[in-house]
Structure 1
């Protein structure tokens, strides 16, 4: 097994095993699953550097999924669940895109140390057949028989051999025909599956249209916490809130106040980075704009992805009229209420988040709606905290969670209806547990 060779960190780029891992995480099987890519990259790098003894559930949970050092593994199976998905994705890769790879990697069940091996890939469409061998002894006997008159027994054998050969050829033809049909059917199914998973991103990232990604303004969130109130959109655009006492720099600090600076949450940046790895993403058509520098007319004529709740990104207030769910911030009590203005049967009219909640429950809201001219789309990604954004982004890039939503929103004419989904999750120190869809509205 090739996996025992140790490679120094600076030599990883030349290691064929590391190059294989890079091809895998850039493939369609992994491109939409950033956490799985991070998982595979982490365990592969540790293994290739000879540190596979560090690969245990606790370490992976901390390093890959942001769990705290003493997180309860018995209640949180995120590492085991994602290891299973990595195995499935590896099988998928080597059955499709990587079927001609000579170097293979697998993740044995019950462990987290990847194994590398070299195999000889079978030629595409090749079928192995058992055929009778002609031995020298049988050949000499045939020559002896040819010198004399053919015997009836040999005639019968020749006729049987001809029938057998014809039957074999017929079977080969049928096998090849069925194999070709299977391959074509499999390819069509894969295309349909990918089209289903990519429908949302194909709508937001079009080759002939511009898309603007707007991360939240973390400086504004500092101001909101200090002033204990939400800044309205008009006030945000004019910048008048920057002249209030809460926006002033601390005593003895020389320079502008924190709200006037260009601070962005790491959760937003990580999500933007994950979006850039999607197959539909076209860097030439995508612009990342700081929220305070966005212009009103840019939301009229372009597609957009707005990150952050109203206390981070006031631009989301423009689209409240189109939505059933709305986040409202009570600064005095530090409580966020998610209003459900069109509750379905069994749904409450509001959901509460407060920082002192001992259960550490949080919410995230994902909404697809029309832009201001109704000729493009806007994706709103909001959370009750920064971890809420992580919850929403992980959900958007998880085909298992999003496929049912996309299916429900898909119209008969192939278009995608606007939708909203409300997610609930539990926050741990350094990370979040798997999200649960608590409400789904299709418009």
Structure 2
């Protein structure tokens, strides 16, 4: 249903409100990737007033593709934009039928435009000459009747009627109060289902700093191909080399054997992740999944501008998520990796009395260590949360702990009272067949804001 109408100069607030209604509509509610696509191109259109946007930019930002991937081979953006056009048309024909302004993505481009809904002309029926309208008729006068005299009996009857009316009004008021209570309970239940972070005071106090701020929050998943490359090279790869894709040239270094070179080229051609890391990201995302301001991103497609401007949750240690490197010098507890021994451990930079300088799990496959760090982000005006384990199962245990009421209550008891401080927590967890059984706090650090 293309709209052959010139675009409107809609004010940004009205355009943003319309975009929000479409993104949160029944048409797109379960189409997560299409919602992310529409929100991204919509924000680009409204904030930057760009005339166009490159297909590769959308593929990298929304679908996790490399920035210079071949769009002739990979048509994921064109396929999804085509589907999004159909969804927009269907929305404005059904759920958004009353919208006075329509939004469409014109063919040949990727940025949405706003157009006025075409007016529907109402055609009046033509009166037939064979059935002319009836001639004007005089309305007969209403005969006046004498006023009834009120007697004592009729007065008593009037009082009875008044009592009956008051009883009806009281009953109606009681029913209205019951209905209001039921509506409030249903609204609260629905809110808790859509926004579980508000289900109890403990989670609301911590997660409200992210979700109630009105700011974009990015959940950045780890890139295990990056960790595998470090294993093969037996050396760390810097964040700068990762962002510039310079680490892909490591395979051509003279000291790399042909077998290692082949393995590196295979690993670096893929963008992979671990189940435990994705489960941790899913636990955080589930707290506010309906919000268009909560976005899932991969480490490989993430950008320095985003980590500076948005609230961010980094999933995984520096070994698999290089963005953690930006915060390493600020942390007391951090997960380190020994590529020669292929083993992770936790460093305690400034041990207190009774604490160890290094925590490590040796020869116990059913135990994990993990770190949860809540710190200011790089701009110091937003927040960063780091969930890192000595393996992906430890990262998952950290995600379970920080998203649960019990875990947050245990952390809050160990922190200074007052407004929520920044903190770091070292956790130890036990598991059985991949299921976390118990997680306990080993050490805590709290910092005032």
Q: TM-score, normalised on structure 2? A: 0.51
Q: 1:209 to 1:249 in 2, by over 3 A?
A: farther
1:209 & 1:251 partners in 2: Cα distance?
44
Per-residue deviation, 1:337: 3.0
* Residues in 1 aligned to 2:443 and 2:365: alpha-carbon distance in whole angstroms: 20
The aligned residue for residue 379 of structure 2 is 373
Which stretch shifts more, 422-431 or 284-293?
422-431
1:222 paired to 2:228: yes
Which of 345, 361, 365 matches 1:337? 345
**What's the counterpart of residue 311 of structure 1?**
319
Which of these residues, 417, 423, 428, is aligned with residue 424 of structure 1? 428
1:68-104 per-residue CA deviation (whole Å, 9 max, x = no partner) reads xxxxxxxxxxxxxxxxxxxxxxxxxxxxxxxxxxxxx
TM-fit CA distance, 1:263: 1.0
Q: How many angstroms apart in 1 are the aligned matches of 2:240 and 2:257?
A: 20
Structural mapping, 1:39-438, within 5 Å = 194-206=200-212, 208-245=214-251, 257-278=266-287, 280-354=288-362, 357-358=363-364, 360-409=366-415, 411-412=417-418, 415-438=419-442
Greater CA drift, 264-273 or 324-333: 264-273
- Judged with a 3 Å threshold, the aligned counterparts in structure 2 of structure 1 residues 218 and 442 are, in CA distance, closer, same or farther, namely same
Deviations 1:306-361 (A, max 9, x none): 0001111011111122211122211112232311112222111111235xx14643
- Deviation of residue 442 (structure 1)? 0.8
Indicate conservation of the 8 Å contact 1:213/1:288, yes or no: yes
Whose Rg is larger? 2
Higher relative contact order (CA 8 A, sep 6+): 1
Unaligned runs of 5+ in 2: 1-180, 182-187
Distance in 2 between residues matched to 1:232 and 1:255, nearest whole Å: 16
Residue 434 (structure 1) shift: 0.9
Structure 2: how far apart are the matches of 1:368 and 1:254?
Answer: 37
Q: How far apart are residue 219 of structure 1 and its match?
A: 1.1
Distance 2:264 2:429 in 1: 39
Are the structure 2 counterparts of residues 250 and 417 from structure 1 closer, same or farther at C-alpha, using a change threshold of 3 Å?
Answer: same
Match in the other structure for 2:118: none
Q: 1:207 touches 1:282 (CA, 8 Å); kept in 2? A: no
How big is each residue's C-alpha offset from its partner over 1:135-193, in whole Å with a ceiling of 9 and x where there is no partner?
Answer: xxxxxxxxxxxxxxxxxxxxxxxxxxxxxxxxxxxxxxxxxxxxx9xxxxxx9xx9998
Are the structure 2 counterparts of residues 223 and 353 from structure 1 closer, same or farther at C-alpha, using a change threshold of 3 Å?
farther
- Are the equivalent residues in 1 in contact too, given 2:337–2:343 (CA < 8 A)? yes
Cα distance in structure 1, aligned partners of 2:257 and 2:272:
16
CA displacement at 1:378 relative to structure 2:
0.4
Shift of 1:197: 2.4
Contact persistence 1:205–1:282 (CA under 8 A): no
What is the CA deviation profile of residues 357-405 of structure 1, one whole-angstrom value per residue up to 9, with x for unaligned ones? 1464320110000000100000000001111111111111221222131
TM superposition shift of 1:256: 5.6
Go from structure 1 to structure 2 and tell me whether the alpha carbon gap of 1:240 and 1:255 turns closer, same or farther (over 3 Å shift). closer
Runs of 4+ in 1 over 4 A off after TM superposition: 190-193, 246-256
Kindly state the Cα deviation for residue 272 of structure 1 after the two structures are TM-superposed.
2.6
Give me the CA root mean square deviation. 3.3
What residue is the counterpart of 1:160 in the other structure? none
CA positional deviation for 1:269: 2.2
3-state SS in 2 of match to 1:372: coil
Please list the CA deviations of residues 20-78 of structure 1 after superposition, one character each: whole Å capped at 9, or x if unmatched: xxxxxxxxxxxxxxxxxxxxxxxxxxxxxxxxxxxxxxxxxxxxxxxxxxxxxxxxxxx
